[in-house]
């Protein structure tokens, strides 16, 4: 049978368990992770993931079996303890938070490894499988795991749903939340408990090291597509669920492939695509926009030089040589040529041989820029009381940015003044 | 003799890590060190595939490059994609680590690495891998030569670049004012961290390297205000953790690397409470006396 059909028909119960388990884990971790991410506590998730190991071993030593409830309670205790220790060290000594996090995660993990190796050599037969917590075992999930996951995922979803507004406010404006009487400390406690819970079940799928990824990476990716928390939570869980599904599929098609790391590679790929290609916040979009702005500024500056040269000769349409422009404003010759060619295409300048002159449209555009520049200088000296020799730099920037509405407002406020602070004429469009 | 070899190897690893750790924690880059120690995994697997062994010059050069690449990626995500620093670190190192684990699975037959070794190393096997001279004399374990070489490199690096490292750590603005490139020394330091991580990898694994990078340095930071003393004390506490950790592991019959990490944490805890200058106990005592 075609593996794709075989996989997605979910007829094999093992496939069902693995897929459902992976999707549940990744989606619910992603939801909790969104708030961790927004609180800028991504690395705390990493610390908890490492710190639950000694708790799991402790749970095993106490119970003598791999009773999931006891293991989870053990994990919960050391996961919480690690956070308390981080906070205590940061508050009581001069050690910084990042050092405290690194210290606690590696030391707790070391203790965990020590306990794990001691248990492994103790001869207790039921210990086999404890190391699943180290590397994850998404490909070997069984029915009873799934029930535990379902319960935990259910708790996570219900709590997040009920406290959504509080968590969102906490992430964006803690001081405000406190001032309107939210129990900030309790909310943080609940949120941290949710992280610990998500970590405790999540590490069974992807293991200690990669746990941070399924918490944080979906949220980081989702952040690039939206500014709304609700949408971000949905996107993050969708990204998480997709990577869970994809990871399960890959290790189904190639059984030697570990599921957990593939889940992480898929979700990281989604994140990288988002970082680069997302509209508005993506790297590519921002580079394009920066480039457009730079082009506009260059265009307007060259037009302005041609205009100012025209003012001196009382004729705006005299063809000019490149050197004349460069004498006024420093450009590489090749850069200037490409700017002028762009302006020619846009119809703002005309070319005769190797001489360049303003077109009518170009003159109007340049006049507007010069007008805004001088109006702004006047505004700064009149209203902000800034000395006339300090206003040029600021006007150089604002002349490219001012919207037509603000431009009209500025004209009105200054009463259509004729002269700027340097006693130069302010040109209005007739 | 085996005890001695293991303790010596651990001490050499601990000293190299402790020296670099002092710079990391003062530059608030402890978690970047953590990230690098995970991110070198794919580099190790690839270098292993190309050179066929774990202790070659290729591997050290590759490690330096991977460290620079990781640091660069974190900064790229932070500055160009405007991702917050903590998330940039988290996304980068988990991705590279996952790639490393997948590479190990793909080349399982060709690469002598397994996941256990990745996480907590195989320092107990150090005395088994001996260098035998052509005449047949036993020259001691290979790991000691490798780690000795790395420690020498780190010491040379710190001694020759002391002024630059010191200034870029404590006063980057002044450093760049007098013409020291902060980013050059930043990347050099990160290369040194990855070289140390990769060479320590075999003995203590990826995560316990982090314990040795951070804990001894943090301990020393609580004991002194003098930076040179901090370097010395960090090494001393690293060596002490190796020594006590080894005997703890023997006593409990558990992982040596895990025990060393645990001991480095306990030593830190002791310093936190009983440090004469910054300890909580004496601070309390002084408060009561006043």
A48 touching B (Cβ < 8 Å): no
For the segment B57-66, the average pLDDT, to the nearest whole number, is: 77
Please report which residue ranges of A228-332 form alpha helices under DSSP H.
Answer: 229-253, 259-277, 283-313, 322-328
| Contact assignment for A210 to B87 by CB distance below 8 Å | no
pLDDT at residue B108 is higher than 80:
no
| Contact assignment for A95 to B25 by CB distance below 8 Å | yes
- Spatial contact of A99 and B220, defined as CB atoms under 8 Å apart: no
Closest CB from B29, B116, B261 relative to A107: B261
Summarize pLDDT for A288-299 with one digit per residue, the tens: 999 999 999 999
Q: What is the pLDDT of residue B12?
A: 93
A356 touching B (Cβ < 8 Å): no
Q: Is A350 helix (H, G, I), strand (E, B) or coil?
A: strand
For the segment A193-208, the average pLDDT, to the nearest whole number, is: 84
Alpha carbon distance B136, B129 (integer Å)? 14
B126 DSSP assignment: G
Alpha carbon distance B5, B138 (integer Å)? 13
Task: Write out the two tokens for A324.
Answer: 């004349």
| Contact assignment for A258 to B268 by CB distance below 8 Å | no
Q: Which residue has the tokens 């200058």?
A: B277
Alpha carbon distance A404, B136 (integer Å)? 89
Which of the four pLDDT bands, split at 50, 70 and 90, describes residue A159?
very high
Q: Which of A9-18, A29-38, A368-377, B47-56 has the least mean pLDDT?
A: B47-56
In chain B, what are the domains?
A: 2-289 (1.10.3470.10)
| Contact assignment for A276 to B268 by CB distance below 8 Å | no
Q: What is the pLDDT of residue B289?
A: 79
What beta strand segments (E) does chain B contain? 130-132, 138-141
Summarize pLDDT for A330-345 with one digit per residue, the tens: 888 888 889 999 999 9
A250 touching B (Cβ < 8 Å): no
A38 touching B (Cβ < 8 Å): no
Q: What is the percentage of chain A residues whose pLDDT exceeds 90?
A: 29
| Contact assignment for B101 to A261 by CB distance below 8 Å | yes
Summarize pLDDT for A376-416 with one digit per residue, the tens: 999 999 888 888 888 888 888 888 888 889 988 888 888 88
Closest CB from B80, B94, B215 relative to A107: B215
Summarize pLDDT for B202-257 with one digit per residue, the tens: 777 776 788 999 999 999 999 999 999 999 999 999 999 999 999 999 999 888 88
Alpha carbon distance A42, A33 (integer Å)? 8
Q: What is the pLDDT of residue A150?
A: 86
Query: Quick one: which H or E segment has residue A351?
Result: strand A349-352
Q: Pick the residue of A88, A114, A280 with the most B CBs within 10 A to test the interface with B by mutation.
A: A114
Task: Write out the two tokens for A369.
Answer: 């820029």
Closest C-alpha among A187, A143, A159, A108 to residue A15: A143
Residues contacting residue A415 through CB under 8 Å, at least 6 positions apart:
none
Q: Which residue has the higher pLDDT, B57 or B209?
A: B209
| Contact assignment for B95 to A268 by CB distance below 8 Å | yes
pLDDT at residue A417 is higher than 70:
yes
Locate the chain A residue with the closest alpha carbon to B224.
A94
A118 touching B (Cβ < 8 Å): yes
pLDDT averaged over every residue in chain B? 86
Summarize pLDDT for A98-147 with one digit per residue, the tens: 899 999 999 999 999 899 888 888 776 667 677 777 777 776 777 777 88
Which of the four pLDDT bands, split at 50, 70 and 90, describes residue A233?
very high
Q: Which residue has the tokens 């010191």?
A: B166
A256 touching B (Cβ < 8 Å): yes
Beta bridge partners of A104: none
Q: What is the pLDDT of residue A99?
A: 92
Q: What is the pLDDT of residue A171?
A: 85
Q: What is the 3-state secondary structure (H, E, C) of A396-414?
A: HHHCCCCCHHHHHHHHHHC
Q: What is the percentage of chain A residues whose pLDDT exceeds 70?
A: 98
pLDDT at residue A1 is higher than 60:
no
Locate the chain B residue with the closest alpha carbon to A122.
B253
Backbone angles phi, psi at A354, to 5 degrees: -105, 25
Q: Give the number of residues written for chain A.
A: 430
A283 touching B (Cβ < 8 Å): yes
Cα atoms found within 13 Å of the Cα of residue A383, Cβ hemisphere only? 9
For the segment A52-76, the average pLDDT, to the nearest whole number, is: 85
A124 touching B (Cβ < 8 Å): no
Closest C-alpha among A19, A36, A17, A18 to residue A214: A36
Q: Is A430 helix (H, G, I), strand (E, B) or coil?
A: coil
Residues contacting residue B100 through CB under 8 Å, at least 6 positions apart:
B41, B42, B43, B44, B45, B118
- Spatial contact of A264 and A213, defined as CB atoms under 8 Å apart: yes
Q: What is the pLDDT of residue B118?
A: 66
Summarize pLDDT for A237-284 with one digit per residue, the tens: 999 999 999 988 888 888 778 888 899 999 999 999 999 998 888 889
Q: What is the pLDDT of residue B18?
A: 94
pLDDT at residue A430 is higher than 70:
no
| Contact assignment for B94 to A264 by CB distance below 8 Å | yes
Alpha carbon distance B41, B194 (integer Å)? 10
> What b/e sequence results for B65-88 when a residue is b if at least 16 CB atoms lie within 10 Å of its CB, and e otherwise?
ebbbbbbebbbebbeebebbbbbb
Task: Write out the two tokens for A173.
Answer: 């404006």
Summarize pLDDT for B190-205 with one digit per residue, the tens: 889 888 888 887 777 7
Terminal-to-terminal C-alpha distance of chain B: 53
CB < 8 Å to A112, chain B: 258
Q: Which residue has the tokens 């690395």?
A: A43
For the segment A42-64, the average pLDDT, to the nearest whole number, is: 88
Cα atoms found within 13 Å of the Cα of residue A119, Cβ hemisphere only? 26
Number of A/B CB contacts below 8 angstroms equals: 205
A93 touching B (Cβ < 8 Å): yes
Q: What is the pLDDT of residue B265?
A: 95
Q: What is the pLDDT of residue A125?
A: 65
Closest C-alpha among A83, A111, A101 to residue A193: A83
| Contact assignment for B25 to A50 by CB distance below 8 Å | no
Please report which residue ranges of B140-181 form alpha helices under DSSP H.
Answer: 142-160, 162-170, 172-177
| Contact assignment for A110 to B265 by CB distance below 8 Å | yes
- Spatial contact of A74 and A65, defined as CB atoms under 8 Å apart: no
Q: Which residue has the tokens 């000594």?
A: A93
| Contact assignment for B28 to A220 by CB distance below 8 Å | no
Q: Which residue has the higher pLDDT, A64 or B114?
A: A64
In chain A, what are the domains?
A: 3-281 (1.10.3470.10), 282-430 (1.10.10.10)
A106 touching B (Cβ < 8 Å): yes
Q: Which residue has the higher pLDDT, A301 or A8?
A: A301
A42 touching B (Cβ < 8 Å): yes
């Amino acid at each position: 049978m075609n593996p794709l059909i075989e996989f997605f028909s979910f007829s094999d119960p093992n496939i069902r368990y693995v897929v459902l388990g992976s999707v549940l884990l990744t989606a619910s971790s992603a939801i909790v992770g969104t708030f961790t991410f927004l609180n800028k506590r991504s690395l705390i998730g990493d610390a908890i993931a490492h710190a639950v190991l000694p708790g799991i071993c402790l749970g095993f030593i106490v119970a003598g079996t791999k009773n999931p409830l006891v293991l989870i309670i053990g994990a919960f205790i050391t996961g919480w303890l690690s956070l308390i220790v981080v906070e205590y060290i940061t508050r009581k000594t001069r050690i910084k938070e990042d050092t405290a996090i690194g210290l606690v995660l590696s030391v707790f993990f070391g203790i965990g490894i020590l306990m794990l190796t001691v248990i492994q050599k103790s001869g207790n037969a039921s210990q086999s499988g404890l190391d699943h917590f180290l590397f994850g075992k998404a490909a070997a999930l069984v029915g009873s795991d799934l029930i535990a996951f379902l319960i935990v995922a259910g708790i996570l979803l219900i709590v997040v749903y009920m406290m959504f507004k509080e968590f969102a406010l906490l992430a964006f404006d803690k001081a405000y939340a406190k001032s309107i009487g939210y129990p900030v400390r309790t909310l943080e406690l609940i949120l941290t408990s949710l992280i610990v819970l998500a970590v405790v079940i999540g590490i069974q799928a992807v293991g200690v090291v990669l746990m941070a990824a399924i918490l944080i990476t979906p949220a980081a990716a989702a952040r690039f597509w939206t500014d709304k928390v609700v949408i971000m939570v949905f996107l993050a869980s969708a990204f998480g669920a997709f990577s869970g599904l994809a990871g399960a599929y890959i290790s189904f098609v190639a059984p030697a492939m570990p599921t957990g790391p593939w889940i992480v590679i898929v979700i990281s790929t989604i994140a990288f695509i988002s970082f680069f290609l997302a509209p508005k916040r993506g790297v590519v979009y921002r580079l394009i926009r920066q480039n457009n702005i730079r082009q506009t500024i260059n265009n307007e500056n060259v037009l302005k030089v041609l205009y100012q040269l025209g003012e001196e000769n009382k004729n705006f349409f005299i063809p000019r040589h490149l050197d004349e422009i460069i004498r006024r404003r420093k450009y590489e010759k090749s850069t200037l040529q490409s700017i002028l060619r762009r302006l020619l295409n846009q119809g703002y300048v005309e070319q005769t041989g190797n001489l360049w002159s303003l077109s009518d449209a170009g003159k109007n555009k340049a006049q507007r820029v010069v007008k805004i520049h001088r109006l702004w200088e006047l505004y700064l000296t009149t209203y902000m009381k800034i000395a006339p020799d300090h206003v040029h730099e600021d006007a150089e920037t604002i002349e490219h940015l001012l919207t037509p509405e603000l431009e009209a407002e500025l004209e009105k406020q200054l009463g259509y003044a004729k002269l700027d602070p340097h006693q130069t004429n302010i040109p209005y469009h007739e | 003799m085996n005890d001695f070899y293991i303790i010596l190897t651990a001490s050499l690893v601990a000293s190299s890590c402790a020296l670099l750790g002092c710079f990391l924690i003062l530059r608030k880059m402890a978690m970047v060190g953590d990230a690098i120690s995970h991110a070198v995994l794919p580099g190790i697997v690839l270098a292993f595939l190309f050179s066929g062994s774990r202790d070659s010059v290729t591997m050290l050069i590759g490690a330096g490059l991977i460290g620079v690449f990781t640091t660069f990626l974190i900064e790229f995500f932070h500055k160009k994609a405007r991702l917050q620093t903590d998330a940039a670190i988290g996304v980068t190192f988990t991705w590279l680590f996952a790639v490393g684990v997948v590479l190990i699975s793909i080349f399982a037959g060709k690469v002598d690495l397994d996941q256990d070794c990745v996480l907590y190393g195989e320092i107990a096997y150090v005395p088994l891998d001996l260098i035998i001279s052509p005449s047949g004399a036993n020259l001691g374990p290979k790991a000691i030569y490798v780690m000795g070489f790395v420690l020498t490199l780190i010491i040379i690096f710190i001694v020759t670049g002391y002024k630059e490292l010191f200034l870029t750590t404590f006063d980057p603005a002044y450093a760049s004012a007098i013409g020291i490139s902060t980013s050059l020394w930043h990347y050099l330091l990160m290369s040194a961290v990855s070289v140390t991580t990769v060479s320590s990898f075999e003995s203590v694994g990826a995560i316990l390297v982090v314990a040795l990078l951070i804990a001894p340095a943090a301990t020393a930071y609580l004991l002194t205000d003098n930076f040179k003393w901090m370097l010395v004390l960090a090494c001393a506490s690293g060596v002490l953790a190796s020594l006590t950790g080894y005997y703890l592991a023997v006593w409990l019959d558990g992982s040596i690397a895990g025990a060393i990490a645990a001991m480095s944490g306990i030593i830190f805890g002791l310093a936190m409470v009983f440090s004469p200058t910054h300890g909580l106990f004496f601070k309390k005592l002084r408060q009561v006396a006043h």
